[in-house]
Amino acid sequence: MIITLAEVADVMTDKSEITNRHCSRADLENHWMPFTDNKSFKREPRLIVRGKGIHVWNNRGERLVDGSSGLFSVPCGHCRHEIAAAVHEQLQVLDYTSPFLRGHPKSFELARRLAAITPEPLNHIFYGNSGSEAVDTAMKIVMAYNFARRQSQKNIFVSRERAYHGVNIGGTSLAGIVKNREAFTSVLPGVAYMRSTATPDRKFIKGQPGDGGEDLADDLLRVIKTYGESRIAACFIEPIAGSTGVLVPPEGYLERLREICDQYDIVLVFDEVITGFGRTGSAFAAQEFGVTPDIITMAKAMTNAAQPMSGVAVHDRIYDTVVGAAEENMIEFFHGYTYSGHPAACAASLATLDIYEKENLFQRAKDLSGYFLDSVFALQEHPLITDIRGYGMLAAIELLVEERPGMRGHDFQKRLFDAGVHVKTTGDAALIAPPFIIEKSEIDDMCGIIREVLDSYR
């Protein structure tokens, strides 16, 4: 018997046991929370219990604007019925099948749909469950590609200062943010770093900075000269470095990296876990900036965060090389996850792609970007703000450091939450990335609350 969503709703309530009463420390203690100051959170918990559209509700029943789309992952808005229905139906038809030597129709359908919106010729999709898994998968694809063509001496990966590529061992090895790696001492060797695109002399720039891109990109040439022309395996780049504080690439930067990678046979990887699925106004930042990498990692907005899922889009040349090097009836790529291409995740992603298409949300993001950025940049005269950066529907407000880096930013996100806006902060940067369905009046409300909280420090 198939149960309808309406029947499920009849037996569900908005509130769980933990939200029906005051939360004690004992209620919360067993969960070791990620990227969280567990001690202070469990003293003063800020719980989210419900979401709808651009809003979430806390356990006191107060409504907040979700100013960061969760973690840049809910551009369609929260609790979309279409996605819930698709997942519900799928789980009653096929809840799971092994992705090793077996398959199910929706994983192939989704791969076709994704290949249709990625740049040509990135036409092959490998599934994971998170952006971190996508990055580690991309690293292993590069290794397998070079092994298949007998170029295993290419074992140096290139990343950047202030880079964030997830938290698995490969992504941690690529990390350029000190707090994300200082406690994890046994990372992979063979990673070199270029400078970030942050420049202290350029402040309050809306969109791409107009110069300096080629000089920064030529850092890759310095790495090549240091390690040797035949040693560099891949260059990992966030087209817009999101988690570190929305560092927008200067004009000419990505183009120059593409030229160097072509010249020296280096795989160019764009980590689009944040920028993918419309955040820049195009399906992927690769299309927005007119530069096609060899591999793209994606996650977050792939399912509107309704199910954990990630993907790696791979150039035909790389796929054909890896698959073609194996003998007939032999596994070609010894990698994968128990939940790769999970049926429920595929159903969620297909429903999400339908919403993007039917509601023309990528174009809506592009059309709304100007108003959004103007509204955020209107805060720039506030004495607590030292810089604002932004592109598309993504912006960062840099706050004046108090005592030591990160203190004010951490306090700021708490005050914002209590005032009615959720945002993610990294250090002293508040990252603003609302759902694409937000209205202009709601942008006004969100920025008004941000201004009020900034004023509360005076």
DSSP codes joined into one string, 274-342: TTTTTTTSSSSHHHHHT---SEEEE-GGGTTTSS--EEEEEEHHHHHHHHHHSPTTS-S-----TTTT-
| Lowest model confidence (mean pLDDT) among 22-36, 51-65, 87-101, 337-351 | 22-36
Average pLDDT over residues 109-132: 98
Averaged pLDDT for residues 386-390: 98
Please give the pLDDT value at position 211.
86
pLDDT interval class at 20 (50, 70, 90): very low
Q: What is the pLDDT of residues 132-158, one digit of tens each?
A: 999 999 999 999 999 999 999 999 999
User: Tell me: the pLDDT tens digits for 220-235?
Assistant: 999 999 999 999 999 9
d(CA 75, CA 73): 6
Q: Residue 368: is its pLDDT beyond 90?
A: yes
Per-residue tokens: 298 = 């994606």
Q: Which of 183, 264, 251 is nearest to 215 (CA)?
A: 251
Instruction: Tell me the domain boundaries of the chain.
Output: 5-76+360-455, 84-358
pLDDT band at residue 18, thresholds of 50, 70 and 90? low
Question: Torsions phi, psi of 422, nearest 5?
Answer: -95, 125
Query: Chain-wide mean pLDDT for the chain?
Result: 94
Same CATH fold assignment for domains 5-76+360-455 and 84-358: no
395 contact partners, CB below 8 Å, separation of at least 6: 246, 372, 373, 376, 377, 388, 389, 431, 432, 433
Say yes or no to pLDDT of 6 above 90: no
pTM, 2 dp = 0.95
pLDDT of residue 22: 66
Tens digits of residue pLDDT in 317-326: 999 999 999 9
- In CATH, what is the architecture of 84-358? 3-Layer(aba) Sandwich (3.40)
Examine the pLDDT at 415 and tell me if it is beyond 90.
yes
Which CATH superfamily groups domain 5-76+360-455?
Aspartate Aminotransferase, domain 1 (3.90.1150.10)
